[in-house]
Amino acid sequence: MTHILVINGSTRAASTNGLFIKAIVKLTGDRAHFTLYPSVADLPPFNPDLDMEPAAAEVANFRAMLASSDRVLICTPEYAMGVPGTLKNALDWTVSSADFRLKPVMLVTASLSGEKAHASLLETLKVIEAVVAPETSVLVQFARTKVNAEGLITDPETRNAIGNALDSFLGDPCASSNL
């Protein structure tokens, strides 16, 4: 069974992105196994001088979780027209270790607008050599109005877009990758 590591770019306990993650897990059914990374806020601030072996415990744990996953789902908001700092920090910790190299990624940016964060994340993921196909990348604008408290996507167009991206992601995302 495909093992997917889930990274929530939001640090809020009851975030809209958490609800979208819940919805995606429900839509997947028994087609994959998900493991949620506890919180990107748990990682220390990236410092190249400290990026050595042995890595700090939380960095080593994050890298091990990435290494043991087949694919990665990132679901994130946009903060101040950009990528949440804690998510960018997490990705920075993977540059030297190449944990994302050739790793299939589904990116869902769920926010009010989200355009700038989504575009920036796609570029960052490309630089760290993650495999993000256009079919596995979804921008959900006005996200709060499209998911309910039970983790059900209430907007049919959004549910269809997420479902199609998920089908592509669970298929062969390398077939139409950006690499």
What distance in Å separates the CA atoms of residue 16 and residue 110, rounded to the nearest whole number?
A: 8
pLDDT per residue as tens digits for the range 20-79? 999 999 999 999 999 999 999 999 999 999 898 899 999 999 999 999 999 999 999 999
pTM for this model (two decimals): 0.93
Domains of the chain and CATH, by start: 2-176 (3.40.50.360)
Strands (E) across the chain are located at 2-8, 32-36, 71-76, 105-111, 137-141
- Which sign does the torsion angle of CA 148, 108, 167, 70 carry? negative
Q: Give the residue from 61, 126, 82 showing the smallest Cα distance to 100.
A: 126
What's the pLDDT band for 177 if we cut at 50, 70, 90? Answer: very low
Instruction: Please count the residues of the chain.
Output: 179
CA distances to 29, 58, 114, 118, 146 from 93, in Å: 31, 11, 23, 19, 32
pLDDT higher than 90, residue 172 = no
